[in-house]
């Protein structure tokens, strides 16, 4: 059976589960699609064309490489497909994020055909996921006198890839859906026992909350087609727990908007809310997608005449409702006034939801584009020897002259990137820092690998000293699902440059152990910054942060992370260690 017929067999199997055809990441399958597209009489031509355009994953997948190469053929006139004009081919390349698509666009922009070069340059000016190999080509062309290369770099130096994007809409209409009462765990949004399916976004989306809840959400969307559904933790906090990336992915899948019409099941910009706000790291993950998190404050403790909380029979505070967000309530978010309204009634201030940085994430479609955009603008300005034009909002800097530093503050100041020269930063500052050690967890690692592919990363950043992909969580449950997923994960991460808990070739060097131990063994520098996937950060040295799969991917790809300097407490131990302790 050829690879396409195998795919159609899988399609039928998925149809029985109520699923769409699985997004394609295999280059060999795309080769088969192209052969059938070129054969005008082929019975599978129309389906092949649809899969090629709408169901092929972007970034650095092998499928993306084959797709980009064929689009290049169409643009150059080497292949003719009636349904894909050269201008449409450029549009498809513009949605492929980076990697092979950038390579093709650079080939065309720096080629001999002036008209094609101009159109390719126009598309390149909208792209941000460029790496050293890409920017090196622009520098080489600039030195050779290329006017196109100079034009592209001048656009990058002005950050036109960001400034020319549409602003965040002033008013966003939402309709409420109460997902539960009390704190809502990420395990409700992305159950741990379904971790094996997290990289298959549509399949994993089936496990969010319940089938009943999914039907109710769809009902609200049909009833209010012009509004976005906001998922609410009534009387609680939204997103407590560790399955943050997959949880946000599922919420976005059901309530967000498509990142691109040509990228299947990748949704962005969910709106989530909680009476007590959003769990901090979950909120960071919402930011990754350009979403909105709302601290509702719609319930408060009831007070007696003396101003003391009234308690119920169980000894818990009695709550009284400030305003209702019952399922089906239509509300308005005003992004300029930074307030939430019910009609003309102001309900709550949303200034914390719309900081300058968060508005940038929303405008750019997520935080990755902002991180890469800043790096690209800085590179272009330096290459052209021009002053950096202030485009992005400056990071919050908190400095208390004359005040000493905690150990954490010292580490942040030492590793800070792009902060104001000569300013000592204290707790509360938002800081870009170089990351030394990165840990990726095996039940979420496939999502991290997908994020790396989507941002067109192919190798670990040279800034990172060491990184580890664990295999310890699935080692004790080595079922068929783990046997199918983990070797694939280990092969990808090993090729990317990580130490892997399971070696693809069966050769096991030292440091293939439980993730907590390995990260501690890898960290030899007390000044290190460590990013650990899903809170795997119990470190004896440096300063460590638990992070979602996306932040782990960003740290691996760029060697950087952005986070606030936390407050800390100094704890001193006295005495001697026992002989068995280290």
Q: What is the pLDDT of residue 511?
A: 57
Q: DSSP character for 309?
A: B
The model's confidence at residue 508, banded by pLDDT at 50, 70 and 90, is low
- Whether 320 has a pLDDT exceeding 80, the answer reads yes
Sign of CA dihedral 214, 215, 216, 221: positive
- The pLDDT score that the predictor gives to residue 536 is 67
Instruction: Quickly name the fold that domain 171-364 has.
Output: Aconitase; domain 4 (3.20.19)
DSSP secondary structure string for all residues of 421-440: TTPPP-TT-EEEEE--EEEE
pLDDT category of residue 360 using cuts at 50, 70 and 90: very high
Domain ranges of the chain: 3-163, 171-364, 394-564
Q: What is the DSSP letter of 193?
A: G
Task: For residue 74, count other CB atoms closer than 10 A to its CB.
Answer: 18
Q: Please identify which residue in the block is written with the tokens 């939430």.
A: 340
For residue 444, pLDDT over 90 is answered with no
pLDDT of residue 246: 87
What's the confidence (pLDDT) of residue 539?
78
Residue 538 pLDDT more than 80? no
Q: Return the higher-pLDDT residue of 527 and 569.
A: 527
Residue 278: beta bridge partners?
Answer: 238
pTM of the model: 0.89
Residue with tokens 């190469």: 69
- Which of 172-186, 273-287, 364-378, 563-577 has the least mean pLDDT? 563-577
> Residue 7's Cα: distance from chain center in Å?
28
Three-state DSSP state, 346: strand
Is the predicted pLDDT of residue 40 greater than 70, yes or no?
A: yes
Q: How confident is the model at residue 202 (pLDDT cuts 50, 70, 90)?
A: very high
Q: What DSSP string describes 385-396? A: T-PPP--SPPPP
Which of 1-5, 210-214, 492-496 is predicted least confidently? 1-5
Report the distance separating Cα 354 and Cα 350, nearest Å.
7
Confidence band for 527, pLDDT divided at 50, 70 and 90: very high
Query: Is the alpha carbon torsion for 284, 285, 291, 294 positive or negative?
Result: negative
Cβ contact 104:67 at 8 Å: no
> How is domain 3-163 classified at the architecture level of CATH?
Alpha Horseshoe (1.25)
pLDDT at site 509: 61
How many residues in the chain?
Answer: 582
Query: Rounded to an integer, what distance in angstroms lies between the CA atom of residue 64 and that of residue 206?
Result: 27
Q: What is the mean pLDDT of residues 378-386?
A: 97
Q: Give the pairing of strands 466-469 and 437-440.
A: parallel
Q: Dihedral of the CA atoms 440, 442, 443, 446 (nearest 10)?
A: 80
Q: Which range, of 80-94, 113-127, 270-284, averages the lowest pLDDT?
A: 270-284
Highest mean pLDDT among 121-135, 297-311, 535-549: 121-135
Mean pLDDT, residues 338-359 taken together: 97
State in words which class domain 394-564 has: alpha beta
Rounded distance between C-alpha atoms, residue 213 and residue 216, angstroms: 5
* Confidence at 534, pLDDT banded by 50, 70, 90: low
User: What confidence score (pLDDT) does residue 418 get?
Assistant: 84
**Rounded to the nearest 5°, which phi and psi values hold at 231?**
-85, 130
% of the chain residues with pLDDT over 90: 75
pLDDT of 38 reads: 97
Asked if 159 and 377 count as a contact pair (C-beta separation under 8 A), the reply is yes
Q: Model confidence over 150-173: pLDDT tens digits? A: 999 999 999 999 999 999 999 999
Structure tokens at 517: 């131990």
Note the pLDDT of residue 57. 94
Average confidence (pLDDT) over 112-139: 97
The first and second tokens of residue 164, run together, are 């020319």
Range with top average pLDDT, 262-276, 298-312, 546-560: 262-276
What integer best gives the mean pLDDT of the chain?
Answer: 93
Residue 148 phi, psi (nearest 5): -65, -45
Decide: 393 and 360 in contact? Cβ < 8 Å: yes
The H-assigned helical ranges of 227-279 are 244-255
Q: Which whole number is the average pLDDT over 232-249?
A: 90
Can you give the pLDDT at residue 560?
A: 92
Strand partners, 232: 178, 273
Contact (CB, 8 A) for 364 and 167: no
> Which tokens hold the place of 400?
């208390």
The vertex-162 CA angle with 114 and 263, nearest 5°, equals: 80
Q: Identify the CA nearest to 429 among candidates 398, 394, 407.
A: 398
Backbone angles phi, psi at 157, to 5 degrees: -65, -25
Q: Which token pair is 313? A: 């029979």
Give the pLDDT of residue 436.
95
Q: Is 427 exposed, middle or buried (0-12, 13-18, 19+ CB in 10 A)?
A: middle
Q: Mean pLDDT, to the nearest integer, of 134-159? A: 98
pLDDT at 571: 85
- The pLDDT of residue 533 is 76
DSSP lists the bridge partners of residue 268 as: 257
Tens digit of pLDDT for each residue in 241-292? 877 788 999 999 999 999 999 999 999 999 999 999 999 889 988 999 999 9
Check pLDDT > 90 for residue 479: no
Residue pointed to by tokens 């750019």: 364
Rounded distance, CA 249 to CA 30, Å?
26
**Cα-trace Rg, the chain:** 25
Alpha-carbon distances of 238 from 277, 416, 564, rounded to whole Å: 6, 31, 20
Q: 554 pLDDT exceeds 60? A: yes
Nearest-angstrom CA–CA distance, 168 and 183:
29
């Amino acid at each position: 059976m050829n690879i396409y017929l195998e795919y159609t067999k899988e399609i039928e199997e998925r149809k029985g589960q109520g699923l769409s055809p699985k997004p394609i990441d295999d280059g060999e399958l795309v080769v088969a699609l192209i052969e059938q597209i070129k054969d005008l009489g082929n019975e599978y031509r129309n389906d092949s064309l649809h899969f090629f355009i709408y169901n092929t994953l972007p970034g650095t997948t092998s499928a993306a490489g084959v797709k980009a190469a064929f689009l290049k053929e169409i643009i150059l006139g080497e292949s003719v497909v009636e349904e894909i004009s050269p201008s449409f081919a450029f549009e498809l390349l513009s949605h492929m994020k980076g990697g092979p698509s950038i390579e093709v666009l650079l080939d065309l922009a720096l080629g001999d055909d002036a008209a094609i070069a101009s159109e390719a340059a126009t598309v390149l000016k909208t792209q941000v996921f460029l790496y050293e190999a890409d920017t090196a080509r622009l520098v080489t062309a600039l030195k050779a006198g290329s006017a196109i290369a100079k034009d592209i770099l001048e656009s990058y130096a002005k950050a036109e890839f960001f400034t020319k994007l549409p602003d965040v809409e002033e008013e966003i209409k939402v309709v409420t859906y109460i997902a539960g009462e009390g704190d809502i765990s990420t395990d409700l949004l992305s159950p741990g026992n379904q971790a094996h399916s997290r990289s298959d976004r549509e399949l994993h989306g089936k496990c969010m909350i319940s089938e009943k809840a999914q039907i109710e959400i769809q009902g609200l969307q049909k009833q209010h087609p012009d509004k976005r559904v906001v998922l609410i933790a009534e009387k609680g906090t939204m997103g407590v727990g560790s399955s943050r990336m997959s949880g946000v992915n599922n919420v976005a899948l059901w309530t967000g908007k498509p990142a691109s019409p040509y990228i299947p099941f990748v949704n962005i910009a969910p709106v989530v809310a909680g009476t007590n706000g959003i769990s901090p790291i979950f909120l960071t993950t919402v930011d990754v997608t350009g979403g909105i998190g709302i601290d509702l404050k719609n319930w408060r403790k009831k007070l007696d005449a003396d101003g003391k909380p009234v308690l119920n029979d169980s000894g818990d505070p009695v709550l009284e409702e400030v305003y209702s967000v019952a399922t089906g309530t239509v509300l308005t978010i005003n992004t300029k006034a930074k307030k939430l309204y019910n009609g003309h009634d102001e309900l709550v201030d949303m200034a914390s939801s719309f900081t300058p940085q968060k508005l940038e994430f929303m405008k750019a479609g997520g935080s990755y584009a902002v991180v890469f955009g800043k790096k690209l603008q800085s590179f272009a300005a330096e290459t052209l020897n021009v002053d950096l034009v202030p485009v992005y909002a400056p990071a919050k800097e908190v400095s208390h002259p004359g005040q000493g530093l905690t150990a954490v503050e010292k580490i942040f100041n030492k590793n800070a990137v792009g902060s104001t020269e000569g300013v000592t930063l204290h707790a509360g500052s938002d800081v870009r820092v170089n990351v030394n050690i990165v840990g990726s967890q095996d039940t979420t690692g496939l999502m991290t690998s997908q994020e790396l592919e989507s941002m067109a990363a192919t190798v670990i950043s040279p800034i990172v000293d060491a990184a580890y992909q664990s295999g310890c969580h699935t080692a004790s449950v080595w079922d068929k699902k783990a046997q199918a997923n983990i070797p694939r994960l280990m092969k990808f991460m090993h090729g990317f440059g990580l130490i892997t808990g399971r070696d693809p070739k069966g050769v096991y060097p030292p440091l293939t152990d439980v993730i907590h131990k390995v990260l501690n063994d890898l960290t030899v520098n007390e000044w290190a910054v460590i990013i650990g996937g899903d809170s795997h950060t119990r470190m004896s040295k440096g300063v460590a942060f638990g992070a979602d799969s996306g932040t782990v991917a960003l740290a691996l790809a760029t060697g950087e992370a952005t986070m606030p300097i936390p407050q800390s407490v100094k704890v001193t131990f006295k005495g001697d260690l026992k002989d068995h302790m280290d």
